[in-house]
Amino acid sequence: MITQTVRSDNGGREGKWVALSILLILMISAVLLPYHQQQAGTATLPSHQIALTDIEQASLGLIADLRLAHEEVRNLYFDARDLNASEQQASVLETELTKSSLSQWADIDELREMWLPPFIEDKSWDFQGKHQWTLIAPATYQGIAQASGGAKSLVLVAVHETPEIWLDLNNNAAELLASETVISDKALIDAGWIQIAFEQANATSHGH
């Protein structure tokens, strides 16, 4: 008599293959996840923009001053119109600011009287490049560097709630001429100015 042993099919072998497959998937995911996060976190900027993290150290201090000055400049505009915060939000929209006149914005002398960096000519101004600041258009302040080795020439546009700052990255941007109307992004780009993208996720330029 022949005796044959039959092993019960309890799914153990299949279970091992499933576990092995899951382990393999997890290992591949662990390898690829950092690469995916790096790719997702690096947004491609338009040619007329540069990330703040890519700007040389010498210009960062002046850029920080302009970001703070942006709020003060806007507050002066609203104060001159005798508008409180709620009225600013309700009635003074960006579209209205783009139609504002040059005389409604604080000039450089007024900003210096307030001791507002980077417009005051102090030791910091001297170190950063002795920029000559001009209110060239409504809500638009241009600072041209007069000394090498400091910060690049910069333009602050205060029309929007968040600061819009443009940089003469390659030292070849044309100086902007005085204008009675807000200078468009296209004019800045055509003149060779590069917009600073503070947050790449929101780096699309504003249209005027």
pLDDT of residue 43: 65
Predicted local confidence at residue 93, as pLDDT: 62
Residue 1 CA to residue 93 CA, distance in Å, equals: 98
Smallest CA-to-CA distance from 141 within 74, 59, 48 is with 74
Interatomic CA distance for residues 50 and 197, integer angstroms: 6
Residue for token pair 């007329």: 48
pLDDT tens track for 176-190: 999 999 999 999 999
Identify the burial level of 7 via C-beta atoms within 10 angstroms of its C-beta, where 0-12 means exposed, 13-18 middle and 19 or more buried. Answer: exposed
| DSSP label of 120 | S
At residue 190, the pLDDT reads 97
Closest CA to 165 of 190, 142, 182, 192: 142
Contact present, 134 and 108 (Cβ < 8 Å)? yes
Closest CA to 45 of 207, 199, 203: 203
- pLDDT for res 86: 52
The pLDDT of residue 100:
87
Q: What is the pTM of this model?
A: 0.73
Backbone angles phi, psi at 176, to 5 degrees: -80, 140
Environment class of residue 58 by beta-carbon count within 10 Å: exposed (0-12), middle (13-18) or buried (19+)? Answer: middle
Contacts of 107 (CB under 8 A, 6+ apart): 135
Q: What pLDDT does 9 receive?
A: 55
User: Which regions of the chain are under pLDDT 50?
Assistant: 39-40, 90, 201-208
